[in-house]
Copies of this chain bind each other. A is one copy, B any other.
Amino acid sequence: MNCNQTVICGEIINIGQLRYTPAGKAVIEFALAHHSKQVEAGIQRQVICEIPAVALADTANMISTLTIGSLVKLTGFLAKKSRISSQLALHVTHIDII
């Protein structure tokens, strides 16, 4: 029941301030604009959405060096954005520049 993996491509449209957790770990929030064509019930359809994302440690440091408009492929897992928010966010564990 552990399976929870998302792979999604898009354009970075927002990069928050690099912060540090109480334990001293780098953390950054950012947003991805995703625009693609997907097949649903046998019919191709457009998908346009914004994905809230968060990254920690080295991945966070790497993202903080990117610029708005960077095209990336994100790999990670879905979880709540934070302990106090029920909104879903992609917790990014790997990032590829496209």
Interface residues of A (CB under 8 A from B): 1-10, 25, 34-42, 47-51, 56-59, 71, 73, 77-80, 86, 88, 91, 93, 98
Contacts and interface: CB of A to CB of B under 8 A. Distances in A.
Interface majority SS (helix, strand, loop, mixed), chain A: strand
A8 B2 CA distance: 8
Q: Which of A8, A36, A41, A42 is most buried by chain B, counting CB atoms within 10 A of its CB? A: A41
Q: Copy number of this protein in the oligomer?
A: 2
Contacts of A37: 2
A27 to B, nearest CB: 9
A57 B42 contact: yes
B34 A49 contact: no
Nearest to A79: B47
